[in-house]
Structures are given as C-alpha cells and as structure tokens.
Amino acid sequence: MEFLNEIKRRRTFGIISHPDAGKTTLTEKLLLFGGAIQEAGAVKSNKIKKSATSDFMEIERQRGISVATSVLAFIYRDKKINILDTPGHKDFAEDTFRTLTAVDSVIVVIDVAKGVEEQTEKLVEVCRMRNIPTIIFINKLDREGKDAFDLLDEIEQKLDLKVTPLSLPIGMGYDFKGIFNIWEQNIQLFSDEQKQTIGKKLTFNSISDSKLEKAIGSAHLELLKEELELIEAVYPKFNKKAYLDGKLNPVLFGSALNNFGIEELLNCFIEIAPEPLPKVSEERMVNPDEKKFSGFVFKIHANMDPNHRDRLAFVKIVSGTFERNTPYLHVRQNKKLKFSSPNTFFAEKKEIVDVSFPGDIVGLHDTGNFKIGDTLTSGEKIKFKGIPSFSPEHFRYINNKDPMKSKQLSKGIDQLMDEGVAQLFILNLNGRKLIGTVGALQFDVIQYRLLHEYGAQCSYENINVYKACWIEADEKSSSFKEFKRVKQKFLAYDKKGQLVFLSDSSFSLQMTQDKFKDLQFHFTSEF
C-alpha cells in the first residue's frame, strides 16, 4: 500500500520554451515557493550575486543560458516534485527532446510580449507526438505585451492546441493590477515587487467584493467582468481527463521574476498533473505499479563535479523500486551491476538515496557502462523506445592542437559524445574524426569543456556535409557492395559502429536514394 501511495505522490515534469521566455527563472521561483531554497537566484544580473540554481555549469553562468538539462527535486504539500529544467536554445534541442521521454507532463513558458516563437512550436510538436499533458504559463506580465485573448488565439492557431484559461490578468505592464484565479475562484492583487523572496499578497474571494473596485478601479472591474463572460462563452470548461489525454491545455498567467502567479501555478499543477505514467517498451507496456524494477538512461553528464571527474547516468524509474546495493540487469550488456551511492538531485548538489520510486530520477555513478537509451531491470529483458539520436545539421573535423594531450582529448571526446551533446563519426577512408551537432553553439561548448574539464585543446576544420543518414541494407546484396564502392569517400561509422552516409547536398542525397532503391536511409539512429 505504501508503494502505491509513493507513486501517487510523484509529479515529474519538464519546463520547455523558446530561449529567454523565463524558463529558468520560473524553475527558481517554483523552488522558492516549494520551500527548497530561501532566496531565488537570477539567470543574468549584475546586482544579484546568486546565480540560478539550475544553471550550474560554468559556461551557463558566463553566457546566461542553459546548455544542459538539470534535475531538481523537492517536496510541496506532501507531493514529491521532480523538475527537469531544459535548455531553450535550439542548438541544444536534442538534450530537450531526449528529456521529454522522461517526463509525465510539461509546462510550456510563453513570453507575453513575443508570444509563440519558433522553438516553442518545435517542442510542443514533440509533446503532441507523445501525447504529453501540457500546461501553458504566460510569463512576464509585469512588462507590456500582447492582449490575453490575442495570445490565447495565437496559441490555438500556431501550436494547434485547444486551450482553457484557468487565470486571467487584470491589466498588463505598468498597468498590471493582479490576476483573477479562475481555478481557485479568487483575485490576487499585485502590490510590491518582491523579486528574490516571497512577498505578501492581497486576496479577494469574490468579484462582487465592494473593496475590489476601490483597489483596481471601476474601469478595470467592468473589463474583468466582460472578459470572464467571454471566457465562459468561448472556451471549454476545464476537464481533467481531456487534459491528461493531451487534448485540452490549461493556461495560467503570471510574472516569474516578480513571484506573481507562481504559487497558483504550483497549486493547480499538483492537483491536475499526472502521476507517473506507463511507458512503452519494444516488448510490452510497463506500468508504474509493477513490483519489479525497470528504468532507462535518458541523459549522461560527465564532470558534474570537476574536482572528482565523475560521470553520472540519469535514470528515470518506470516501475518498481530502485534500491541501493541491489544488483540490476544492464539489458544491453547482459550483466548485473549494483550501485552503492545512487543520487537524488538538486542541480549539481547530490544526496545518496536508499530507495527511489516510479517517477523519480536517480543519478548513477558510471565508469563507461551506460549509453543514452540503456535499460536497467530486475532481470526482465526489455528495451524502452523513443530515445533516438537525430541527424546533425552542422559538421566539422576535430583536430588535436596539443599532441602531448592526445590521450586527454580522446577521453574527453569519448565522454562528451556519450552524453549526447554531439555525435562522433569516423571516416571510413582515412579514420579522421568528424563531429556532428544539432546546433553550431554546441561546438563552442565542446571546445570549452574539453579545455576546462579535460585539459585538452582542439581546433575545428570545416567540411561540406549536408546530412548524415544511417544506412539499413542487406550487406550481402550486390547493390550494397556497389554503394560502398561508389560512395566510399562519403561513408563513416558512428560510435555504435553503424554505417552512416554523409551526403554533401540535398541533390546528391536524392540521387543516391533514387539509384540505390533497396537501401534504406534513416535520419535518426533508432530504426
């Protein structure tokens, strides 16, 4: 019984958005309201000495952006909440896509002034493909922005979502008075700007309270009444089942920087968000309430603590309980491993945990056994689906600048590629190493981390590659042998030893596909 109660207490979700919509600031404030931190940090500020909790890598602090997903866990109202704060920048999208395989629900952050942006559309598309329940938080109400109803229309049109507002702003920017909370049926007025700690709020329990008109003015009150009537007439009532099926998306408004609307978001979230959900494996559907343990690696992070050169595999627990010092089967390697110090996370701070339940994320110290997508179980041979490598869009040769440090460079490249920050291809013709990334900024991150974490210096050299395609073919066929002969200078192997065709243009790719029709060209490594 206790096991089932522990599952019901869990809420594991990701926060996604376009860069600069306020995702990391929102994460900070959720931690603040959850009681996990006493004072919120800032992503980029000269006045505030405390940086954001989830941006713990040195390069993140310097650039003011998140470049890796961080995991933060805390207790709020007896619910165990696991937040995965993802990078917003499109150059780190692959980390975000993989993280979305480990969450049960998502909060999408939208900037009130910019509305729906390009990266938001891509990320929401991934959520829709997987039917992930999604809450939308419209942020930065303390700034001038688009009208609330215009934004709701934009979300419906651009993101193809069906929305229902659970709160409504009263005014905006300089004229921002507060929020009518439709979910809890109360009104909270915005008083003083409390950026780093929680301030007091003025609350009214009814729209007909005589003091309310005095507080916000008759014009605002009339407009609020009209808007509430409009919401009732136009938008569907909130339905929890439709939300959990990914067919209805609640929208809440607030200002993460000024702590406004955050507590309301948290309260609403813990009531409606799903408990840990079943996960599809290649063999069968795995339910969280099964007694036997299963989980999968969705992220690997090297050097979380640069002093110890440690490497952690992040495992999402799907079913059963994960216990310390218990042997579990590593399905790909078909060997038993046991872990003496599994960690729970609070960004880079870690604590050893004895028992973890479905929905939790545990960090396992790894000496090179794990790859992204690996499955751990109590003994059953299953493989969880949906954690592919995507075809990179940017390619460069990687060269060693310091021959004395070739061992360090080789180790650094090996570990960073296992993290999934980029992909390594080795040319068939001459054995040269080629790195492919989803975004160009990843090259800077790799160079920075190789130097600061491994003491190795690298330089890059451009190469004309348009797309990498994984090849599936009958190796004995004459057409495959002909393909290897004709295209030998465009062939490489990835880290798993799979054959990859590096086409130099869309035209050449199309011609090759037309010529070798019995070969299959895949744009993700999972086929």
pLDDT over 50 at 68, yes or no: no
Measured distance CA(57)–CA(369) in Å, rounded = 24
pLDDT over 60 at 338, yes or no: yes
447-477: per-residue pLDDT in tens?
A: 888 888 888 999 999 999 988 899 988 888 8
**64 confidence band (pLDDT: 50, 70, 90):** very low
For residue 193, the model assigns a pLDDT of 59
Place of tokens 């079943």: 278
The whole-chain average pLDDT of the chain stands at 82
For residue 137, the model assigns a pLDDT of 94
Question: How does DSSP classify residue 52?
Answer: P
The torsion angles phi and psi of 521, rounded to 5 degrees, stand at: -110, 120
Nearest Cα residue to 165 out of 239, 265, 106, 250: 250
As a whole-number percent, the residues of the chain with pLDDT over 90 amount to 28
Measured distance CA(460)–CA(444) in Å, rounded = 10
Measured distance CA(190)–CA(40) in Å, rounded = 19
Q: Report DSSP letters for 28-68, one per residue.
A: HHHHHHTTS-SS--BSS-SS--PBPTT--SHHHHHHTS--S
Measured distance CA(388)–CA(135) in Å, rounded = 25
CA 500-501-503 angle, to 5 degrees, is: 145
Cβ proximity of 72 and 37 under 8 Å: no
What average pLDDT does this structure show over 355-369?
Answer: 87
Instruction: Quote the crossing angle between the two packed helices 218-234 and 148-159, to the nearest 10°.
Output: 30
Residue type, 339: F
What average pLDDT does this structure show over 327-348?
Answer: 83
Measured distance CA(484)–CA(501) in Å, rounded = 10
Q: Which uninterrupted H or E stretch holds 279?
A: strand 279-280
pLDDT over 60 at 53, yes or no: no
225-236: per-residue pLDDT in tens?
A: 888 888 888 999
Measured distance CA(218)–CA(198) in Å, rounded = 29
Strands 467-472, 499-503: parallel, antiparallel or unpaired by DSSP?
antiparallel
Cβ proximity of 333 and 367 under 8 Å: no
127-174: per-residue pLDDT in tens?
A: 887 789 999 999 988 888 899 899 999 999 998 899 999 999 888 888
Distances in whole angstroms, Cα of residue 511 to Cα of each of 91, 311, 383, 422, 473? 29, 43, 35, 28, 17
Place of tokens 């990334």: 437
Sorted by sequence, the CB contacts under 8 Å of residue 91 that are 6+ apart come out as: 437, 438, 439, 440, 441, 442
pLDDT over 70 at 195, yes or no: no
For residue 59, the model assigns a pLDDT of 47
Measured distance CA(377)–CA(375) in Å, rounded = 7
Measured distance CA(450)–CA(180) in Å, rounded = 50
CA 387-391-393 angle, to 5 degrees, is: 135
What average pLDDT does this structure show over 494-517?
Answer: 90
Sorted by sequence, the CB contacts under 8 Å of residue 64 that are 6+ apart come out as: 43, 44
Q: Between these two residues, 194 and 470, which has the higher pLDDT value?
A: 470
The two structure tokens encoding residue 187:
């009104």
The two structure tokens encoding residue 341:
């110090």
For residue 200, the model assigns a pLDDT of 56
Strands 167-170, 178-181: parallel, antiparallel or unpaired by DSSP?
antiparallel
What are the structural domains of the chain? 2-272 (3.40.50.300), 279-377 (3.40.50.300), 394-522 (3.30.70.3280)
